[in-house]
Structure 1
């Protein structure tokens, strides 16, 4: 069997984890597959010719990290899964990457920044489509508008989501939408903040969402006022309105059971045919105190595939020793042009 690289892929049997494992193999990486479901891990490891280790987030992580340099954590929802993995990485001295796009999870990681520096560990949440392209675009524009006070980001291309992504969205039932004002994170009523954004085919209605950049973009750019919007496709609008009017019920035990049953009824994730030919589009606008504005747009390949591309590129950087200790964002460490190194990415200003 070829030599295993000292990198652990946790959550390897989930939808995105399986995509990552196969993409890693295609890049010549040899991750150690890890998770809690031994039969599924064994089958995948046999298929790909990889090593696997079994560990739960509450048991066995330190042993699973033996001989590992970096973890790519792909098991969400990250609001409940990232803390035990970060704890283990800090105990053992392993660098941490994840695919989180959750504001609370990213904030929680950044609260561990000082401890990570002391231990010589890098913690980098948001290594996928959440938040690499938006982080890079935000930093690119902010460097051209010195003293920018306001950042607006828009996300399009999320028409199909995995079962795990649905569970992450369902966790927000009954909760406020998060934005940043004056450097502080605030909650607003779902559906109460809407604007039109141009994703390339004219202005489209977009709804404010609790997206990871509300946290990460602040650490990358220092901009104190941040809002993130998603293209208001019908399914998203229905979900936001249901949260606004029935959030209390959805957040109850019965409501959460209903959401979980709905999640179980969904396919594991979009098929290769459903993902083929799709694009992600990020738009951004920065504004300074004098009202000077600069807008930009970034086109990427389809979100799930692009998450694999960016996350594995970051793994390779870390394995090569190209990193900064502490809690970090992708654009701050690797620069706003990092995203332009990938095929199919186009950036424009307007």
Structure 2
């Protein structure tokens, strides 16, 4: 297998963060993108190589021709980009990693599990902050225990913003979370969007409100725990009554594929101003309840959420090249266990379990 690690969307913020983390691990990246000047500038930051690909189809063709060892996909919306990239990776038995974080995108990769198993390559989806931080806490808390009854996960990101456009990956993820869902009796069911608000006291003593936002963490937590009831929440979810009242109408409009694609393209070009991160740490949190009444709560403390989103796929790529993966489709902690988060800079804080 080739030792090359390709980063699709290598000029974006996530792509550059991944390249830097790969360089720190002694694994230079090949940055793949559409703009030669931006590729050159990005590559200078991490001593990476570059590959100009004017379209996703061109990138897929190059994967088949050059046969890299691992491809990391940072290009959204992942429901559109993942199938074509995974198909190319399957043809040459190349491992695949992406940063998807919405229910539809993760589900699409999970549906490719059997095909990946047959050819012997590994697919890892959700390799960013939200899925990895919360799923890792769930895996840690469930070690040595049977499947729980209920799980709630909360992601509390803190990241500095650089000036520039928002990008299709982020917009696709956010729009993918506009339709309320939860896991009920083991099945994905509709639920109130931005409901179930909880005021959390973080381990550092500060407080934050999280509300339901069914992104990729929902599926990852359910698959990692086997729980019959799962809710995912985020501090990024609006909690005002007015916003919650508007969401059913917005969600209905977003079911139109044409309108959705148009909205993603337009919003992806919106420019944001640079700002410092809002708090010192980012947090993944989980509360788990078993049928016997035992309740466990845990936290994963991290630094900047964007830096973590660079570290996770870089660490996974390193392990896949070392032959540590398994054929099929996985989320990060489901494949590599709770220690993966620690190898990427996370620290677990686990209060004593209680019985109710």
Within a 5 Å distance, the mapping from 1:59-78 to structure 2 comes to 59-65=58-64, 66-78=66-78
| Paired position in structure 1 for 2:92 | 92
Hey, what's the Cα distance between the residues in 2 that align with 1:21 and 1:202? 33
| Paired position in structure 2 for 1:304 | 306
Hey, what's the Cα distance between the residues in 1 that align with 2:6 and 2:49? 10
Alpha-carbon distance change, 96 to 336 in structure 1, aligned in 2, over 3 angstroms? same
Hey, what's the Cα distance between the residues in 2 that align with 1:97 and 1:223? 26
Does the Cα contact within 8 Å between 1:198 and 1:283 map onto a contact in 2? no
Deviation at 1:109, TM superposition (A): 0.7
Does the Cα contact within 8 Å between 1:135 and 1:216 map onto a contact in 2? yes
Answering whether residue 311 of structure 2 is matched by residue 313 of structure 1, we say no
Does the Cα contact within 8 Å between 1:53 and 1:64 map onto a contact in 2? no
Alpha-carbon distance change, 154 to 323 in structure 1, aligned in 2, over 3 angstroms? same
| Paired position in structure 2 for 1:31 | 29
Does the Cα contact within 8 Å between 2:211 and 2:237 map onto a contact in 1? no
Structure 2, unpaired ranges of 5+ = none
Does the Cα contact within 8 Å between 2:20 and 2:45 map onto a contact in 1? no
| Paired position in structure 2 for 1:221 | 225
Deviation at 1:91, TM superposition (A): 1.5
Hey, what's the Cα distance between the residues in 1 that align with 2:252 and 2:317? 40
Alpha-carbon distance change, 122 to 177 in structure 1, aligned in 2, over 3 angstroms? same
Answering whether residue 134 of structure 2 is matched by residue 142 of structure 1, we say no
The match for 2:52 among 39, 51, 54 is 54
Query: 57-66 or 135-144: which moved more?
Result: 57-66
Deviation at 1:45, TM superposition (A): 3.5
The match for 1:266 among 271, 280, 283 is 271
Hey, what's the Cα distance between the residues in 2 that align with 1:157 and 1:259? 22
The match for 1:329 among 311, 328, 331 is 331
Within a 5 Å distance, the mapping from 1:107-126 to structure 2 comes to 107-126=107-126
Does the Cα contact within 8 Å between 2:181 and 2:192 map onto a contact in 1? no
Does the Cα contact within 8 Å between 1:70 and 1:95 map onto a contact in 2? yes
Does the Cα contact within 8 Å between 2:289 and 2:296 map onto a contact in 1? yes
CA offsets 1:49-83 (integer angstroms, 9 cap, x no match): 43222332233413235131111111122122211
Structure 1, unpaired ranges of 5+ = none
| Paired position in structure 2 for 1:293 | 295
Alpha-carbon distance change, 348 to 236 in structure 1, aligned in 2, over 3 angstroms? farther
Does the Cα contact within 8 Å between 1:68 and 1:94 map onto a contact in 2? yes
Does the Cα contact within 8 Å between 1:276 and 1:302 map onto a contact in 2? no
Hey, what's the Cα distance between the residues in 2 that align with 1:18 and 1:237? 38
Normalised by the length of structure 1, the TM-score is 0.85
Question: CA RMSD, aligned part only?
Answer: 3.1
The match for 1:19 among 14, 17, 20 is 17
